Amino acid sequence: MSKNIYFIRHPKTEAPPGVCYGNSDVKPSAESLEKAAAKARTKLNGTSVDICYSSPLSRCTMLAGALMQDRMVVTSERIREINFGRWEMVPWIDIPEEEQEQWGQDFINCKIHGGENFFDVQHRVLSFLNELVNTGHTNIMVVTHAGLLRALLAHLLEASPRKIFAMHIDYGDVICLEWYNSEYYKVKYL
């Protein structure tokens, strides 16, 4: 039996320009929330989902609530954005240049900021996916973050973590994973 898992990126946040954030709870504006919800609804094209999972960060839970209306949304820590540690909510210009260079040269493994690296995020999302595909639900919505989606897609598409960042994932975009089993699945950008 196949499953359809619809991964949706949260709306644009009200974070000040030039600030490093990932794990911080930065809300979307009402306008960006409605724009992302309208975009996701259009891409979902009336699809009915059995259950919705969301990152616990408000930019995701607010979109999940808008899409699910009165239906329950389940939050999961495993699908929240990368933790940038002591860089969270710090302007990039205030982060030492040598730290940024070290991280930029190897963001896949580097934890110079005291938070997570790419593989930490990938481990979390793969654990979540493994649990998801073993539930009885067949149409599942997941509202999450671009970093997390890239970590998932790098694994599923057997792509280099560096190259997966060339893939653009906009606010409100929907990526559908048609899951048949761990050996056979399709990834579609709706």
d(CA 157, CA 187): 8
pLDDT of residue 174 exceeding 90: yes
Report pLDDT for 182: 81
Report pLDDT for 181: 87
Are the C-beta atoms of 149 and 9 separated by less than 8 Å?
yes
Domain at 3-189: CATH code: 3.40.50.1240
Q: What is the mean pLDDT of residues 84-94?
A: 97
pLDDT of residue 70 exceeding 90: no
pLDDT of residue 2 exceeding 80: yes
Residue keyed to tokens 């504006």 = 29
pLDDT of residue 36 exceeding 80: yes
Local confidence band at 1 (pLDDT 50, 70, 90 cut-offs): confident
Q: Average pLDDT, whole number, for the chain?
A: 95
Locate 15 and state its tokens.
């974070």
Give per-residue pLDDT as tens, 90-149: 999 999 999 999 999 999 999 999 999 999 999 999 999 999 999 999 999 999 999 999
Give per-residue pLDDT as tens, 37-68: 999 999 999 999 999 999 999 999 999 999 99
